[in-house]
Amino acid sequence: MKTNRILISLVIVALLLGGCAARSSTNYENQQDGYMGSAGAPVEAPMPAMENDLSYEESKNTSSGWAAAAESTQMIMMSANLSIAVDDPSVTLTDVQKLARDMGGFTVSSNLYKTQTLNGSEVFEAQVTIRVPAQRLDEAMEKIKAMTGDAKKFTLNENVSGQDVTKEYTDLQSRLRNLEEADAKLSEFYENAANTEEALSIYTQKMQVTEQIEVIKGQIKYYDESVSTSSISIQIVSKQSIATLTVAGWKPSGVAQDALEALVKFGKGLVNFLIWLGLYILPIVLVIGLPIFFLVRWLMRRSKARKQTAMQGWKKGIEGEGLPPIPTEKK
């Protein structure tokens, strides 16, 4: 009787775990945009824990942390893209990395390379991605833009976006609680197993539950860290690369721009004329010109018919008097 009860309980737990596993797998693949790409290849490794970060268990118990009480706190993953022009991209790259460390963040990736300007000279450019505490995202953006010397002039592009993962996070926590309850129940069954066969069966189920618990904890930790820190991707270019090309005081790009503007104006004028022709002039011509055309054509045909009738009558009159017919011109 006891054995049957344990087996029935195992079946119930197995069904519960099967449902949790299917939901966990689907959500894990669809929600972790920072870990896996569409082909299943890793896109961005999980973020390393910072020295001054709270651990997962500690953050759950901290009322002011991003991971606390997902049911009552929105979980927003913030990210930003920034493109700036500076005097020396290699120096600015080092400054950005130092800024991330000073603000309690870290560098995810960086790349420094050479490129050519319009004048043919080689200059450095850099691409760097950093993570900073979410509450200091705006501060970090302002400090990075200040590195240009003139933020309004040399900030080429700026974009900030956020993704709300509150629902996914809450669902993960709910499934984690269910799995932990199942794990505790399996531990109780394992201790009360009547024989080795039952113990092995329960142990197998418990290992599956433990594996799913670890996977979900990893997802929760990923959300915790992604929400507590924000990503900033910075494209750093040289001011020389955006400068106007000048040859002995002559600016070919300016001439080219003037020529292009003139071409655009000509094309605009031509298109405007065709629009006026098709929508204004042509209907007037059709409404007024067609009746006049048909009227003139009718009058000409009528005049020609009268002349032919008169000529035929004259010919008949001459032939009636016995006169030779008037020779006609050969065409």
Indicate whether 63 belongs to any domain: yes
Q: What is the DSSP letter of 42?
A: B
**CATH assignment of the domain containing 28:** 1.20.58
Domain that holds residue 36: 2-68+174-221
Structure token digits, residue 288: 């007024």
Structure token digits, residue 294: 């048909």
- Other CB atoms within 10 Å distance of the CB of residue 210: 13
Whether residue 9 is found in the same domain as residue 52: yes
Q: Which of 202-211, 239-248, 266-275 has the lowest mean pLDDT?
A: 239-248
Question: Is 134 within 8 Å of 78 (Cβ atoms)?
Answer: yes
Q: Which of 23-37, 69-83, 309-323 has the lowest mean pLDDT?
A: 23-37
Whether residue 59 is found in the same domain as residue 92: no
For the segment 183-202, the average pLDDT, to the nearest whole number, is: 89
Higher-pLDDT residue of 207 and 295 is 207
pLDDT at 175 over 90: yes
Give the DSSP H or E segment for 289: none
Can you tell me the distance from the alpha carbon of 190 to that of 196, in angstroms, rounded to the nearest whole number?
A: 10
Whether residue 160 is found in the same domain as residue 12: no
pLDDT at 123: 87
- Other CB atoms within 10 Å distance of the CB of residue 195: 8
pLDDT at 250: 53
Whether residue 236 is found in the same domain as residue 138: yes
pLDDT at 159: 93
Whether residue 197 is found in the same domain as residue 52: yes
* 3-state SS, residue 246: coil
Whether residue 181 is found in the same domain as residue 61: yes
Question: Is 66 within 8 Å of 224 (Cβ atoms)?
Answer: yes
Q: How far is CA 79 from CA 19, 43, 133, 164, in A?
A: 33, 16, 11, 12
In tens, the pLDDT along 86-144 reads 999 999 999 999 999 999 999 999 999 988 777 677 889 999 999 999 999 999 999 99
Which own/partner pairs from 198-207 qualify as long-range (CB within 8 Å, at least 24 positions apart)? 198/3, 198/6, 198/7, 201/10, 202/6, 202/10, 205/10, 205/13, 205/14, 205/17
Whether residue 237 is found in the same domain as residue 155: yes
Indicate whether 263 belongs to any domain: no
Whether residue 184 is found in the same domain as residue 213: yes
Q: What is the DSSP letter of 250?
A: B
pLDDT at 274: 85
pLDDT at 38: 33
Whether residue 98 is found in the same domain as residue 149: yes
Strands annotated E in 165-241 = 229-238
pLDDT at 13 over 60: no
For the segment 143-152, the average pLDDT, to the nearest whole number, is: 92
Q: How far is CA 39 from CA 26, 35, 45, 93, 218, in A?
A: 15, 12, 15, 32, 21
Higher-pLDDT residue of 39 and 234 is 234
- pTM of this prediction exceeds 0.85: no
Q: What is the DSSP letter of 37?
A: -
Higher-pLDDT residue of 67 and 5 is 5
Structure token digits, residue 20: 């949790």
Average pLDDT score over the chain: 75
pLDDT at 306: 78
Total tally of structural domains belonging to the chain? 2
Whether residue 20 is found in the same domain as residue 124: no
Whether residue 213 is found in the same domain as residue 236: no
Indicate whether 303 belongs to any domain: no
- pLDDT category of residue 311 using cuts at 50, 70 and 90: confident
Give the residue among 34, 32, 61, 57 at the shortest CA–CA distance from 47.
34
- Other CB atoms within 10 Å distance of the CB of residue 41: 7
Structure token digits, residue 19: 């449902």
Can you tell me the distance from the alpha carbon of 105 to that of 96, in angstroms, rounded to the nearest whole number?
A: 11
In tens, the pLDDT along 212-257 reads 999 999 999 999 988 999 999 999 999 888 765 454 455 555 566 6
For the segment 157-169, the average pLDDT, to the nearest whole number, is: 92
Percent of the chain at pLDDT above 90?
A: 39
Whether residue 132 is found in the same domain as residue 237: yes
pLDDT at 40 over 60: no
Of 166-170, 190-194, 311-315, which has the strongest mean pLDDT?
Answer: 166-170
**CATH assignment of the domain containing 92:** 3.30.70
